[in-house]
Amino acid sequence: MLVSDHLDLMPEFQREMFGWIRAGQVQLRDTVVDGLAQAPQAFIGLFKGANAGKMLVRIQ
């Protein structure tokens, strides 16, 4: 089964998913590391499963 096999269901999915996110029933998770110096370790962490959700490097 491929996602592209069900593109006709996309509007319904988006409507339901966005509603669940707004209601707090589905929570988005990110892993944030601070500083460009941590970028290599963050990248390696992607392959080791060290992140929850998206891996972000915050540069200030």
The confidence band for 1, taking pLDDT boundaries of 50, 70 and 90, is low
Say which residue the tokens 């963050």 belong to: 42
pLDDT at 3: 80
pLDDT in tens, 2-59: 888 999 999 999 999 999 999 999 998 999 999 999 999 999 999 999 998 999 999 9
pLDDT at 60: 86
CB burial of 18-46 (b: ≥16 within 10 Å; e: otherwise) equals eeeeeeeeeeeeeeebeeeeeeeebeeee
Say which residue the tokens 């998770």 belong to: 29
pLDDT at 11: 96
CB-CB neighbours of 57 under 10 Å: 17
